[in-house]
Amino acid sequence: MSDYQIVCLHKPSFSDTPAFYQSGFFFNEPEHLSQQGDGIYSLIIAINRQTGQSEARCAFFSESNKVISPAAAPFGSIEFIDTLPDSILDQLISLLIAEAKSTGASVLQLIHYPSCYAPIQTNRLSRKLIDHDFQISRIDQCQYLPIANEPFENQIAPSERRRLRKCREAGFQFSCWSSPQPDTILTFIQNVHQQKGYLPTISYLYLRSLLRTFSDHFSIFTVRNGTDIIALTITVRVQNDILYNFLPVSDPDYNTFSPMVMLTDGLFTYCRQQGIRLLDLGVSLDNNRQPKPSLIRFKQNLGARESVKLVFDKQL
């Protein structure tokens, strides 16, 4: 008998879902999955018979003619333990394909987590998916900061160091907003988006719901001039040791100061204090979801490294 049991749970309840073997990625947790799309999803898991814990998982949703993982999150895909046997990973992928076909969909799409989150798993899974006739349909570059003991300002370009110093000399203050007010946050974000001509990547109503539902995972950080917010970001604690800088915005009236540098400096320090090893700065795309060179260059000036974020498609 195999050491693993591979099952597909349809519309699983929280109580039906075996615990994952470790603190997994927040976007793959049942609590978040239930908030995505219509909240109806299926979950394929590989359960270790000895521990009763899940050591691999993939949640998927049906959308018109497509089966997709995730429905409404930066990523979903297959998450698994380093030591998962190849044969079990193959079986899980085969069951995923069979379940997707049974829905009548023509395409199965997996939006994968940034490779810097789990390089070993990403390389293994990429090879396996290609073996199962998946194609890489999109490659995005995301930027991230590994959190080191060296001070942030020592790692950034001289131009950004001058801007950081300018913010400090102006008396701007970075802080974590301990009791954030969702409506105030959303009003500031909407105003900045309108002034800069940015299209929202997430509906404001859905964002408000996430902030209220997951206050333990979503944190708000600000840079203020006195009492006025001049820069703000919404972060997500994706895992115990990963922080995602999800939605950073800054008041264009303060462009000459570039308060986003001070905001990133504060996040870097916060990560060091919290034992977080990786600060994900996200992808750098324009309104047409094409690479935005100016934003990529800015992140590079902050010392960011690059990581791929892959999307896999399979014709069914």
CATH code of residue 205: 3.40.630.30
* pLDDT (0 to 100) of residue 201: 84
* pLDDT (0 to 100) of residue 247: 96
* pLDDT (0 to 100) of residue 289: 86
Q: Which residues contact 143 (CB under 8 A, 6 or more apart)?
A: 281, 282, 283, 284, 296, 299, 300, 304, 305, 306, 307
Q: Is 289 within a domain?
A: no
d(CA 263, CA 261): 5
Count of domains for the chain: 2
Domain that holds residue 125: 4-140+311-315
How many residues are listed for the chain in this entry?
316
Identify whether the C-beta of residue 306 lies closer than 8 Å to the C-beta of residue 283: no
* pLDDT (0 to 100) of residue 256: 94
Residues 112 and 53 in one domain: yes
d(CA 209, CA 275): 28
Residues 12 and 126 in one domain: yes
Q: Which of 242, 196, 252, 200 is nearest to 217 (CA)?
A: 242
Residues of the chain with pLDDT under 50: none
* pLDDT (0 to 100) of residue 1: 64
Q: Which helix (H) or strand (E) element contains residue 138? A: strand 135-146
